[in-house]
Structure 1
Amino acid sequence: MAGSRLALNALSFVLPDGRILFQSLDLVLDDVPTGLVGRNGVGKSVLAKIVAGRLQPTAGRREGDARVHYLPQQVRIPPGQSVAGLMGCAEALAALARIEAGSADPLDFERLGERWTLREQLAQALAQAGLAGLDPARPAATLSGGEAMRVALAGAWLSDADLLVLDEPGNHLDLAQRAALGQRLREWRRGLLLVSHDRDLLDGMHRILELSPSGLRSYGGNHAFYARQRAAERAASEAALDQARAAHRRLQAQQQLQRERQQRRQARAARAAKQANQAPILLGLARARSQASLGRLELRSASLRAQSHAALREAAAAVDTAPALAMPVDTASDSRRVVVRCAQAVLAHVPATHAGLELVLDARHRIGVVGPNGSGKSSLLRALAGREAPASGRIVVAGRVALFDQQLDGLDPARSPLEHLRAANPSLPEPEARGRLALLGLDADLARTPCARLSGGERVRAALACVLHAQAPPDLLLLDEPGNHLDLDALETLERMLRQYRGGLVLVSHDRRLLENAGLEHRIDTGTTPWRLVPW
């Protein structure tokens, strides 16, 4: 940042409902490329907005002279905004045009600054983004989601900012575009704060910040280093919890043994006193001494138990308890039976299939679908699910097929995950439905919350629950970008889940790590013609 810096001091943020999102955070950002990670809902985007000056903290201060360029997670296009406006250059471009037409207005020269070659810079930035020839005056609303993100990123590279704050910039980008984004991030020589769940992008950072309910923690390295450190910390925490549990069990056993010994001593003393024909007053005194001794023992025992419980709670709190994604136990019973057959199938609006798609899928197939945005990946999944008829040829669905749609169109915003799951599987008792949602990271409160009030990651989990736990388990599972909005922990657990799944699987994703770790055996590249099944 060439000497510029930005500091957050004793920063806190409280949600309108009174929940403390984070408190007393301290952070200094300079020219070290920094990744910000954390579970969904922990406040990463809120923190990014505060860093960018777009949101005021509840308490604390934001200080520094760094000029910040902020790119939000969802690129919102105001009515009438042009491509140049989305890049943040509309005013400067208009000022350049007025100066060329003879304007001597000092404000125009101030808006333009020293960017006399702005048109050429715009054209070059758009070409580097794979959008050569795109008219800066074109309405930005006519762009696709991926094009809008690439245009916004091109504006970030053109900015004269000391610090870029990028919130999930890989959203809507395909594999090739994500790789190009990673290269541009590595080439950026000023300050950078990257909020992301993309492990490839995070591996280009030099520092990882983890935001959690306990605060902000810094790891001096890229994502691979962070993952190793977190794994070591998790293992140490789990070992400490095991030791605390063992110590608590030993204490319980020792105290039980002490109580039994004390009770036996009391019984022996009482029998001896009776046999000695002691006076009642002496027997009473003996009983009082014995009870006092037992009382002191119980007090000491209670104190030790309280200390042990406290140590156990502290050890348990230190263990990372990420909610697990759980696959259904049942899978396809006859893995060799044909589930979907495509014969000379031509998909509507997908030129690459004009030669006719020939494909036979059973419950043994594990296929990854890759290709550029707009090449027909989602159309292929809808056709395999029987939701989209081919323009010509035949697609026969002969088995149970479940489709996870990346748009989550099957979720009614007014209904809760529990209501959706009970509708997908009416035979499932409510307690069991709540249990399955809990295994997917949706606790009792979230399970009953209308989907409109859930985060993106929570809605993804709700939709996955309806697909995975439908009344009849699928022979073929079709997943269209299931990793969207999932945090790093959930992504890794999703990968384990898919590796354990024994049924047929067709997975569309732009996440290279997810594709590599899901246990796939074949692929279809929709960027090639004709489409065909090849070994992974």
Structure 2
Amino acid sequence: MVILQNISYLHSNKDLLFDKITFTVNHHEKIALIGNNGVGKSTLLKIIAGELQPADGILKTNSKPYYLPQIFGQFNHLTIAQALQVEDKLNALQEILNGNVSEENLNTLNDDWTIEDRCNEALLYWQLQDLNLNQKLETLSGGQKTKVFLAGISIHEPELVLLDEPSNHLDISGRELLYNFIKSTSSTLIVVSHDRKLLNLLNPMCELSKHGITVYGGNYDFYAEQKLIENNALSQDIQSKEKALRKAKEKERETLERQNKLDSRGEKKQKKAGVSRIMMNTLRNNAENSTAKTKGVHAEKIGGISKDLQELRSSLPDIDQMKFGFDKTNLHKGKTLFTAIEINYSYENQPLWKKPLSFQILSGQRLALKGLNGSGKTTLIKIIMGELRPKAGTFQKADSKIIYIDQDYSLIENEITVYEQAQKFNSSGLQEHDIKMKLNKFLFSQNDWNKPCAALSGGEKMRLMLCCLTINNQAPDIIILDEPTNNLDIQNIEILTAAINEYTGTLIVVSHDVHFLEEIKIEDFIELN
């Protein structure tokens, strides 16, 4: 069991990340911790893991957590056995089996006679049987590193497991192994993920936001339904407030017009009646004071409604505040952009693909490249873009404008500002205020325009990339997306999905996120073996 009571956390600069977080995770429960980028999900996991200390509050756990972090570069200098914290036990077991039955070796092994068998079984399950436990992590791919730490769960058999984006670097077969593990394990799980297939295996959804944690008793599909109901209710509240604001302004106008007519009529009557100038001034002042008081009453009411409306609008999901409006490409649908006949590529005279590739890419087509890690997806992308030439076979490539967007959004230049980055795509000569209006539509306010791009999160870089594409006077003929959802939260994945679905050109995608591929209406696949 995990109990958090009034947990607060401050950044090193004393900025408050979250305040008074309270929730409980019961034994054998498998929960998802979700929320937008930057709300503190990974930080909260690190607090539960004991790697960070909260500024305030109480944390209680019944057992030591097993923590799988999101980034593994900090372990590159370690061997697999060291990273899994089994090296000493394995060495002690080997010493004992070789006849050195010392008290030190027995204490180190601590009666864990099955440690070697568990290591082998775990590596076999995660398809790592070809790895050596003495191999350095720096020699492994991102997917292999993830699998190594996942294997540690079976080796150590912890009661509590904390997983931070465990499917990020896994290919489709690796993800299936992860899904099966999550379904079958009896461990208590707390999982941070944007993988919606994985999230549907967990219950409940615990949404972290600036208001605290809200628990939704169900899987991700149930959560999405509830959020839709909440957002529809929010939209109705906004419409109701907008209507009330219009009525209040109309009432103010009518009241002031009526007041002005009455004052004007009264003044005419008083002149006819021969009222003295002093009395006329007194009556005029009284009328002006009365009008000012009426204006004040209405202004207060309008101000209150406007404030309520602003608060409601700020609660809208980002995707509902954004407008895309991509230009159409100049190419007619169905034009042949790339033809490959029996092509192959070689590294050190070894063919990359067992079976040469033959395919066509047409204008307006939506296709995905499928294959395990190391199957040559990046190489094929470089061939399609014209950066590499196949070593065998023939191909034809039509002139086309291609934009390649990788998971790190490398087209965004870290050393320049947000505004300067947008200006780089301004091939149509938009004025400064037009570019800033576009940036505002993509949720970059005046405070962000001079911010260096290096300071942007993955989701912010994605939004800036989309904004730049809409600033350009001509949409690309082909957009290639390489694992675009890896560093995005669910909300930003939905923003990306909405933008891509407005794009009418050719789309080529590398992604292991099956749900994302379905959402962007992928029709065809190129299978790599």
Give TM-score scaled by structure 2 length.
Answer: 0.91
When residues 77 and 316 of structure 1 are mapped into structure 2, their CA distance, relative to the original with a 3 A threshold, is closer
User: Partner residue of 1:397?
Assistant: 397
Q: C-alpha offsets along residues 60-85 of structure 1, whole Å, 9 cap, x if unaligned?
A: 23233331111110123535422222
C-alpha separation between the residues in 2 aligned to 1:279 and 1:447?
62
Amino acid at match of 1:16: S
SS in 2 for 1:287: helix
Which amino acid counterpart does residue 338 of structure 2 have in structure 1?
A: V
Which sections of structure 2, spanning at least 5 residues, go unmatched?
A: none
- Is 1:273 the equivalent of 2:275? no
8 A contact 1:422–1:428 mirrored in 2: no
Aligned to 1:165: 162
AA aligned opposite 2:343: A
Distance in 1 (CA, whole Å) between partners of 2:244 and 2:234 is 15
Deviation at 1:373, TM superposition (A): 1.1
Question: Counterparts of 2:423 and 2:342 in 1: how far apart (Å)?
Answer: 38
- Change in Cα spacing, 1:270 to 1:324, as seen in structure 2 (3 Å) is closer
Amino acid at match of 1:477: I
Q: Does residue 481 in structure 1 map to residue 478 in structure 2? A: no
Map 1:94-105 → 2, pairs under 5 A: 94-103=91-100
1:377 is aligned to 2:377? yes
CA distance in 2, matches of 1:199, 1:157: 24
Secondary structure of 2:375's match?
A: coil
- C-alpha distance 182-394 of structure 1, shift in aligned 2 (>3 A): same
**Which residue number in structure 2 is paired with residue 19 of structure 1?**
15
Q: Contact 1:125–1:154 at 8 Å: present in 2 too?
A: yes
Deviation at 1:417, TM superposition (A): 4.4
How high is the sequence identity, in percent, across the aligned residues? 28
Corresponding pairs, count: 523
Q: Write the distance in 1 (CA, Å) between the matches of 2:437 and 2:288.
A: 48
Cα pair 1:345 1:356 within 8 Å, conserved: yes
1:363 paired residue number: 363
CA contact (8 A) 2:327 2:475 kept: no
Q: Which 10-residue stretch deviates more, 149-158 or 6-15?
A: 6-15
Match runs of 1:168-187 below 5 Å? 168-187=165-184
Choose which of 312, 335, 338 in structure 2 pairs with 1:337.
Answer: 335
**Distance across 1 between alignment mates of 2:446 and 2:92:** 56
In terms of mean alpha carbon deviation, does 348-357 or 75-84 score higher?
348-357
The C-alpha deviation readout for 1:416-456, integer Å capped at 9, x for no partner, is 44434433445444444444444445444445433433323
Q: Does the 8 Å contact 2:367/2:524 carry over to 1?
A: yes
1:498 aligns with: 500
Instruction: Using the TM superposition, name which of 114-123 and 310-319 deviates more.
Output: 310-319
Q: In structure 2, do the counterparts of structure 1 residues 383 and 114 end up closer, same or farther at CA, with 3 Å as the change threshold?
A: same
Structure 2 counterparts to residues 293-372 of structure 1, below 5 A: 293-322=290-319, 324=322, 326=324, 328-349=326-347, 351=351, 353=353, 355-372=355-372
Tell me the CA shift for residue 207 of structure 1: 0.9
Q: In the alignment, what sits opposite 2:524?
A: 522
Mean Cα displacement is larger for which, 95-104 or 236-245? 95-104
1:532 counterpart residue number: none
Q: Cα distance 1:283–1:418, how it changes in 2: closer, same or farther (>3 A)?
A: closer
Quote how far apart the aligned CAs of 1:179 are: 1.9
How far apart, CA to CA, are the structure 1 residues paired with 2:288 and 2:437? 48
Contact 1:77 1:86 in 2 (8 A): no
Distance 2:425 2:70 in 1: 31
- CA deviation map 1:4-26 (0-9, x unaligned): x2222222222233432111111
Distance 1:436 1:412, change over 3 A: same
The one of 236, 241, 252 aligned to 1:239? 236
Letter in 1 for 2:423: R
Question: 2:202 is matched by which residue type in structure 1?
Answer: M
Q: Give runs of aligned pairs for residues 256-271 of structure 1, distance below 5 A.
A: 256-271=253-268
**Matched-pair contact (CA < 8 Å) for 1:363–1:504:** yes
* CA distance 1:70–1:496, change in 2 (3 Å): same
Distance change >3 Å, CA 110–CA 208, structure 1 → 2: farther
Moved more, 89-98 or 455-464: 455-464
Counterparts in 2 of 1:55 and 1:103: CA distance versus 1, 3 Å: farther
CA RMSD of aligned residues (A): 2.6
Moved more, 249-258 or 337-346: 337-346
Q: CA contact under 8 A between 1:499 and 1:518: conserved in structure 2? A: yes
Q: In the alignment, what sits opposite 2:420?
A: 419
Aligned positions of 1:437-516 closer than 5 A: 437-463=439-465, 470=472, 472-516=474-518
Q: Tell me, in whole angstroms, the C-alpha distance in 2 between the residues paired with 1:441 and 1:374.
A: 37
CA distance change for structure 1 residues 298 and 38 in 2, over 3 Å: closer, same or farther?
same
How far did residue 351 of structure 1 move? 3.9
Q: Which amino acid aligns with 1:320?
A: P
Secondary structure of the 1:122 match is helix
Instruction: Please give the secondary structure, in 1, of the residue aligned with 2:346.
Output: coil
Within 1, Cα distance between the matches of 2:141 and 2:450? 34
Counterpart check, 1:88 vs 2:89: no
- What amino acid maps onto 1:413 in structure 2? N
Contact 2:194 2:490 in 1 (8 A): yes
Q: Unaligned stretches of 5+ in structure 1?
A: 528-536
Work out whether residues 67 and 163 of structure 2, in 8 Å CA contact, stay in contact via their aligned partners in 1.
yes
